[in-house]
């Protein structure tokens, strides 16, 4: 079944940057979201309107989107060292890993920072004794938590290779998990080359099929294959906490192929007005929005120039306020464990066990590193404005939300999980120092 290729847009003042004129490409197969066709039509009409276009969520409470997002935290190079905590707990996902503290990491050069680069890596020199906790690696968490925000990550290199399971994600500071939600922006295992973005939430949050769009394909990617949903129920208690997720169509969105092209830039937006979206642009993608590429100090609300998000979550089937609140950001790199370990036999990584591989092959971890050019966090210049409960009196051109409305009966029906994605990322115990 084809995806509905609906150009996303954001509420905007007419003075806001519009980017290139977006093409509204709509491919709807009979039987899928007809409501989206209607919404797309309204959207098209709205684009021709000169009035300010407020946002409404499709839940029972409506919010206006802030008119601008302002750079709040600009993490580049050394600035990570003060603003993030190096976690040393046992890996909650049971990986063959030994998370080390900041001082040890700096001393072993498993963390490296200068004025413009920040690198975190796995140990690639040491044979790990079987009785040790695991291979040295890094898990860091931002001290700051962010409510409505847009996060932009310029990532040169991500950890790659057999047994690795890197992730860049966010989770509720208040919790307890899964209360307040978990958003996985970058995640994959072993030799994967396609990113998986997913949510893990409390019950009653699902991802409608028509919200599953395809990654905005760079012009040099010949095939437009839709992102594939892995499951649609975000509830962490079903499907062994598989969550709801989207596997990106871009075959250079994860791992070795990502690194071979010098990576790219990621954005995640989480707002009351819009729910959660994830974008990815290859570094050479001419469609990367200029404000994203330049690391601008102010972002207008996400506009059509950003293209379709690779993953869109949250519309009437997931009330944002009930499932999300302020999130901390996390980078980690574990090995084997609940995901990379459980799919190891089919990973193409050879006959040994995953744990033996980790213990005995330090040289295999040479490319198991994060190299971050910048991580920018933008927050609204004004709080989200609640418009009051209940449906709008009239769904006119001025109240159009990007077309994400799905009739219930047409929602994606979750397939049984194709891998055991068992994991609980219970957050670490609260740090009294925070
Ligand atoms: C430490 O790591 C950085 C980043 O990978 C690298 O450029 C540098 O050469 C390393 N330093 C040493 C002493 O190995």
Highest mean pLDDT among 8-22, 298-312, 412-426: 298-312
User: What's the domain range around 305?
Assistant: 34-410
The confidence score (pLDDT) of residue 246 equals 84
What separation in Å is there between the alpha carbon of 109 and the centre of ligand 1?
6
Q: What is the pLDDT of residue 208?
A: 60
In angstroms, the CA 208 to CA 206 distance is 6
Local structure of 47: helix, strand or coil = helix
Residue 200 lies in a domain: yes
Q: Ligand 1: which of 77, 105, 107, 109 to mutate, most ligand atoms within 8 Å of CB?
A: 109
Dump pLDDT digits (tens) for 163-217: 999 999 999 999 998 999 999 999 999 999 999 998 888 988 887 654 444 333 3
Exposure string of 197-208, with b = 16+ CB inside 10 Å and e = fewer, is bbbbbbeebbbb
How many whole angstroms from 29 Cα to the centroid of ligand 1? 52
* Most confident stretch, 39-53, 206-220, 371-385: 371-385
The segment with the largest mean pLDDT, out of 176-185, 208-217, 304-313, 371-380, is: 371-380
> Nearest CA to 251 among 242, 268, 264, 269?
264
Over 70: is that where the pLDDT of 102 sits?
Answer: yes
Query: Which of 160, 187, 319, 355 is labelled catalytic?
Result: 187
Q: Compute the distance from residue 254 Cα to the ligand 1 centre, in Å.
A: 23
Structure-model confidence comparison of residues 306 and 356, the more confident one: 356
Distance 195 CA to ligand 1 centre (A): 27
Using alpha carbons only, give the angle 339, 137, 250 rounded to the nearest 5 degrees: 50
Q: Is 8 annotated in the active site?
A: no
- Give the number of other Cβ atoms within 10 Å of residue 222's Cβ: 6
Q: Average pLDDT of 377-396?
A: 57
Highest mean pLDDT among 17-21, 41-45, 360-364: 360-364
- What DSSP designation does 406 have? -
Per-residue model confidence as pLDDT tens digits over 116-160: 999 999 999 999 999 999 999 999 999 999 999 999 999 999 999
Residue bearing the CA closest to ligand 1, atom 12: 109
Per-residue pLDDT at 56 exceeds 70: no
For residue 55, pLDDT beyond 70: no
* Most informative mutation of 77, 111, 119 for ligand 1 (most atoms within 8 A of CB): 119
Measured between alpha carbons, how far is 146 from 428 in angstroms, rounded to an integer? 18
Cα dist from 20 to 140, 192, 374, whole Å: 37, 33, 25
Over range 385-414, report the average pLDDT. 35
Does the beta carbon of 109 sit less than 6 angstroms from any atom of ligand 1? Answer: yes
Looking up tokens 């409404």 gives: 56
State if residue 125 touches ligand 1 by the CB under 6 angstroms criterion.
no
Asked if the structure places residue 289 within a domain, the reply is: yes
- State how beta strands 135-137 and 97-99 pair: parallel
Phi-psi region of 100 (alpha: psi -120 to 50; beta: other; left: phi over 0): beta
Active site residue 187: yes
pLDDT band at 309 (very low <50, low <70, confident <90, very high): confident
What mean pLDDT is reported for the chain? 75
Ligand 1 centroid – CA 111 distance (Å): 9
Considering only residues 316 and 54, tell me which one the structure prediction assigns the higher pLDDT: 316
The answer, yes or no, to whether any atom of ligand 1 lies below 6 A from the CB of 119, is yes
Give nearest CA residue, ligand 1 atom 6. 112
Question: Which residues sit opposite 171 in a β-bridge?
Answer: 182, 328
DSSP single-letter state for residue 337: I
CB 117 within 8 A of CB 123: no
Report the separation in Å between the CA atom of 62 and the middle of ligand 1, taken as the mean of its atom positions.
Answer: 50
Distance, in Å, from the CA atom of 240 to the CA atom of 237, rounded to the nearest integer, reads 6
Number of domains composing the chain: 1
Instruction: Give the CATH number for residue 171.
Output: 2.60.120.200
Q: Which two tokens stand for residue 146?
A: 């962010």
CB 346 within 8 A of CB 418: no
Query: Are 9 and 304 a contacting pair, CB within 8 Å?
Result: yes
Higher pLDDT, 17 or 99: 99
Q: Is 112 in the pocket of ligand 1 (CB under 6 A)?
A: yes
C-alpha of residue 116 to centroid of ligand 1, in Å: 14
Closest ligand 1 atom number to CA of residue 369 = 5
Over residues 300-304, the mean pLDDT reads 78
| pLDDT tops 90 at residue 386 | no
Please work out whether the CB of residue 415 comes within 6 Å of at least one atom of ligand 1. no
pLDDT score, position 239: 72
Q: What is the pLDDT of residues 236-291, one digit of tens each?
A: 887 777 788 888 889 999 999 999 999 999 999 998 888 888 999 999 999 999 99
Of 106, 112, 123, 366, the one to substitute when testing ligand 1's pocket (max ligand atoms within 8 A of C-beta) is 112
**Of these residues, 8, 87, 160, 182, which one is catalytic?**
182
Q: How far is CA 37 from CA 32, 41, 47, 124, 347, in A?
A: 10, 6, 15, 52, 40
- Which secondary-structure segment (H or E) carries 103? helix 102-107
Collapsing DSSP to helix, strand or coil, 312 comes out as: strand
DSSP line for 281-295: EETT-TTS-HHHHHT
């Amino acid at each position: 079944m084809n995806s509905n290729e609906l150009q996303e847009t954001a509420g905007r003042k007419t003075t806001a940057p519009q980017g290139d004129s977006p093409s509204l490409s709509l491919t709807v197969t009979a039987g899928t979201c007809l409501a989206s066709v209607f919404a797309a039509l309204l959207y098209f009409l709205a684009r021709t309107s000169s009035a300010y276009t407020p946002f409404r969520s499709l839940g029972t409470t409506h919010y206006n989107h802030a008119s601008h997002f302002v750079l709040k935290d600009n993490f580049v190079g050394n600035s990570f060292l003060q603003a993030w905590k190096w976690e040393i707990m046992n890996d909650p996902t049971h990986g063959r890993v030994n998370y080390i503290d900041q001082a040890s990491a700096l001393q072993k050069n498993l963390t490296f920072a200068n004025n413009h680069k920040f690198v975190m890596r796995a140990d690639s020199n040491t044979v790990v004794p079987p009785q040790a906790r695991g291979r040295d690696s890094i898990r860091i968490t931002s001290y700051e938590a962010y409510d409505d925000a847009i996060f932009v990550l310029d990532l040169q290199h991500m950890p790659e290779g057999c047994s690795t399971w890197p992730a860049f994600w966010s989770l509720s500071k208040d919790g307890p998990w899964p209360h307040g939600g978990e958003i996985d922006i970058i995640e994959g295992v072993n030799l994967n080359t396609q990113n998986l973005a997913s949510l893990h939430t409390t019950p009653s949050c699902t991802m409608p099929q028509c919200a599953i769009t395809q990654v905005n394909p760079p012009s040099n990617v010949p095939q437009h294959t839709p992102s594939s949903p892995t499951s649609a129920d975000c509830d962490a208690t079903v499907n062994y906490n598989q969550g709801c997720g989207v596997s990106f169509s871009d075959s250079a969105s994860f791992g070795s192929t990502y690194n071979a092209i010098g990576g790219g830039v990621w954005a995640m937006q989480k707002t009351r007005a819009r729910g959660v979206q994830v974008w990815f642009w290859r570094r050479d993608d001419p469609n990367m929005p200029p404000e994203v590429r330049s690391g601008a100090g102010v972002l207008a609300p996400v506009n059509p120039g950003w293209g379709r998000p690779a993953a869109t979550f949250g519309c009437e089937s997931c009330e944002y306020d009930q499932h999300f609140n302020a999130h901390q950001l996390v980078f980690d790199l574990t090995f084997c464990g609940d995901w990379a370990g459980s799919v190891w036999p089919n990973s193409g990584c050879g006959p040994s066990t995953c744990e033996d591989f980790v213990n005995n092959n330090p040289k295999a971890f040479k490319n198991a590193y994060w190299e971050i050019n910048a991580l920018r966090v933008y927050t609204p210049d004004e709080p989200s404005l609640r418009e009051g409960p209940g449906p709008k009196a009239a769904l006119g051109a001025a109240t159009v939300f990007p077309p994400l409305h799905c009739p219930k009966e047409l929602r994606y029906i979750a397939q049984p999980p194709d891998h055991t994605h068992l994991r609980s990322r219970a957050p670490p115990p609260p740090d009294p120092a925070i």
